[in-house]
Amino acid sequence: MRTRSRTAGGAQGRLLLGLVLALALGLRIANIADISNSPFFTRPVIDGQAYDTWAMAIVNGTAPAQPFYQDPLYPYFLALVYSVFGHSFWAVYLLQLALAFGFLLLIYDTGRRLFDWRAGIAAMALAALYKPFIFYESQIEKTALAVFLTALFLWLFVRSLWSDRSSPGPRHPSLGLRTSSFLLPLATGISLGLAALTRAYMLLFAPLLPLALFFKPQARGRKLRIGAAAFSILGLLLVIAPVSIRNSVLAREFTLTTAQAGQNLYVGNSEYNTTGQYQAPPWVRANPEFEQSDFAEYARKTAAVDLSPGQVSRFYVRAALDWAKTHPRGFANLLWRKTVLYFNNFEVPDNQDIYFFARYSWVLRLPLLSFGVVFALGLAGMILLARGLGRLSLVVFFFGYSGSVILFFVFSRYRIPALPAILPFAGAMLPWLADSVRLRHSSLVARHSSLPSRLARGLALVLAAFALTLYPVHHGTGRTEAAQCLTNLASIYYHEGDTTKSIATYEDALSTQPGNGEASRNLGIIMLGRGNVDRAFELLSYWARAGP
């Protein structure tokens, strides 16, 4: 009965599947078409600009031979695209659209396998209408790739849990196991490794993967359990080991994937962070072009010795831990603020702001789904439906990943890779509520007096969870975030040599937010260079008052 419910649906299920996919692709194509008319379409900013520059250096063979400071997979993905299609942003956006299509199918099948076909289609529909997915898929930024690889990992993991000796396929001649018994765990480990090269937080689950596969419910015999666990580790090592060897050889010390964990920990846990978001210490320029060297220079001056990249990272780990120990109340308050920010309906901006970008896309102006809705349905589903190793593993993944982000600092694009773990539960909650309505009005109520309370209990959980995401947080106003986006664009115009557009865009930023410090400083420097001393003095005075 349970197996039939997972595979049922027939023509109705296929029709719904096609309609949801058509709607999802229609919204995404319309969004990309609209954004293509914006000045940002071919001008990625901050991290996006750094990834683009890094990718072109890889293509041209001029990438620096040093340990990776940032997660490396996305720049290599861009380099592959550029090597095939040339320096084409359209090619990147269209390939990310293809990843989004694959992501939706993975969410559907994960929900179907964990619950039933209705949960799979509902989960896919929620993902199709989730506005942050649509936004990040149209950015030169690693989030789209990270979300796809996370969904791929979870899908393969769920499939691995139900592979056993009775599954079809040839046996491995030396191990005596069905092919699926080790190919699926191997692929699961590979996908986890690839996901970790877009978000290093994913490595926290490296020990849990073989443990879960060892205790998988369908495993028959100790050999099968050990084999599944071993092949998952092998798959992970096939991806991570070459990166670690490369980094370690260049750094002359062990470096796993990147050399910035300590810096990120310090950014999110120090006296200089009052918001829970990214707040660089005063000696660091908040730009990927300068961040690594600024952090390293300060650490070396403070330690009064030359430090390797790994030693710089450990310097900031110690600094963050020392601050947390000596300021327990400040650390607790900051941790609480980051938790509230992470589970908030507000999308914390970083390189680009989803609310600002709505001016360029009618799709982003639509009242599509937000984090609060998906989280509310998903959390209620986790509470009511999380039974069995597969479902419980996704619960552990979601909250474990969330905790790893909160430990550092919070951005909308940092939490979004956790969504593939909660979407199947959110999807399952919708038919659960529908069944509750149906059962309440059926003859079964006479025999099951608890059924009317089932609907009330489910709705109460959803509403309570949604209320949690509305907790008031102090964040930058829309004007502040819009002004920052315009300031980023004006800086690009300036470096392109278009001073006229740069000045006009800085003026637009200042009219959006009068007295904006960065816009005032940069425009003041331009005015000084042009000999307009009075305007330069006025602007630089604004800057001095904004950040004395």
- The model's confidence at residue 544, banded by pLDDT at 50, 70 and 90, is confident
Angle between helices 371-385 and 389-407 (to 10 degrees): 140
Query: Is 188 in the same domain as 151?
Result: yes
Residue 302 in any domain: the answer is no
Q: Does a structural domain hold residue 85?
A: yes
Same domain, 494 and 441: no
Rounded mean pLDDT of the chain?
Answer: 88
Assigned token pair, 487: 């300031």
Q: So what's the pLDDT on residue 481?
A: 76
Of 394, 369, 332, 536, nearest to 469 (Cα)? Answer: 369
pLDDT at 174: 43
Q: For position 531, which CATH number holds? A: 1.25.40.10
Residue 483, pLDDT score = 82
Mean pLDDT across 415-425: 97
Domain boundary among 468, 499, 531: 468
What is the C-alpha R_g of the chain? Answer: 25
Residue 335 within a domain? no
The whole-angstrom separation of Cα 152 and Cα 250 is 31
Q: Is there a contact between 74 and 142 (Cβ–Cβ < 8 Å)?
A: yes
- The answer to whether position 340 is within a domain reads no
Q: Do 461 and 510 fall within a single domain?
A: no
The yes-or-no verdict on residue 346 having pLDDT over 50 is yes
Residue range of the domain that includes 177: 11-249+365-468
What is the rounded CA–CA span in Å between residue 363 and residue 330?
Answer: 41
The pLDDT value given to residue 180: 59
515 pLDDT more than 60: yes
Query: Is there a contact between 381 and 426 (Cβ–Cβ < 8 Å)?
Result: yes
- pLDDT at site 169: 43
Non-local (6+) Cβ contacts of 280 within 8 A are 267, 272, 286, 291
CB distance 473 to 346 below 8 Å: yes
pLDDT tops 80 at residue 439: no
Q: Are residues 203 and 65 in the same domain?
A: yes
Predicted local confidence at residue 482, as pLDDT: 80
pLDDT of 38 over the 60 cut: yes
Do 384 and 484 fall within a single domain? no
- If asked whether residues 482 and 426 sit together in one domain, one would say no
Residue 172 per-residue DSSP state: P
Residues 84 and 175 in one domain: yes
Give the pLDDT of residue 146.
Answer: 97
> What is the model's pLDDT at position 442?
61
The tens digit of pLDDT for each residue in 453-484 reads 888 888 999 999 999 999 887 655 567 778 88
Same domain, 240 and 126: yes
3-state class (DSSP) for residue 369: strand
Residue 122 lies in a domain: yes
Summarised one tens digit per residue, pLDDT across range 202-225 is 998 999 999 998 887 665 677 888
Cα–Cα dist 121/24, whole Å: 12
| Domain annotation covers residue 289 | no
Mean local confidence (pLDDT), 414-419: 96
Query: Concatenated DSSP letters for 522-539?
Result: HHHHHHHHTT-HHHHHHH
pLDDT band at 179 (very low <50, low <70, confident <90, very high): low
Q: Is residue 280 part of a domain?
A: no
5 band by pLDDT with thresholds 50, 70 and 90: low
| Domain's final residue, options 419, 445, 468 | 468
Kindly report, residue by residue over 492-502, the tens digit of the pLDDT: 888 888 888 88
CA–CA distances in Å: residue 431 to residues 138, 171, 254, 350, 436: 31, 39, 50, 36, 8
If asked whether residues 212 and 110 sit together in one domain, one would say yes
> Is 400 domain-assigned?
yes
pTM of the model: 0.90
Which residue, of 441, 468, 495, is where some domain finishes?
A: 468
Residue 166 has pLDDT above 80, yes or no: no
Evaluate if residue 35 carries a pLDDT over 90. yes
Say what the pLDDT of residue 440 is.
Answer: 60
Confidence of residue 177 (pLDDT cuts 50, 70, 90): very low
- What are 52's two structure tokens? 């683009």
**Residues 218-247: pLDDT tens digits?**
656 778 888 889 999 999 999 999 999 999
For residue 46, count CB atoms less than 10 angstroms from its CB and return exposed for 0-12, middle for 13-18, buried for 19 or more: middle
Other CB atoms closer than 10 Å to residue 390's CB: what's the count? 22
Is 162 buried (19+), middle (13-18) or exposed (0-12) by CB count in 10 A?
middle
Total domains in the chain come to: 2
Give yes or no: residues 117 and 216 share one domain. Answer: yes
The verdict on 455 and 490 lying in the same domain is no
Angle between helices 117-128 and 89-114 (to 10 degrees): 150
Do 391 and 439 lie in one domain? The reply is yes
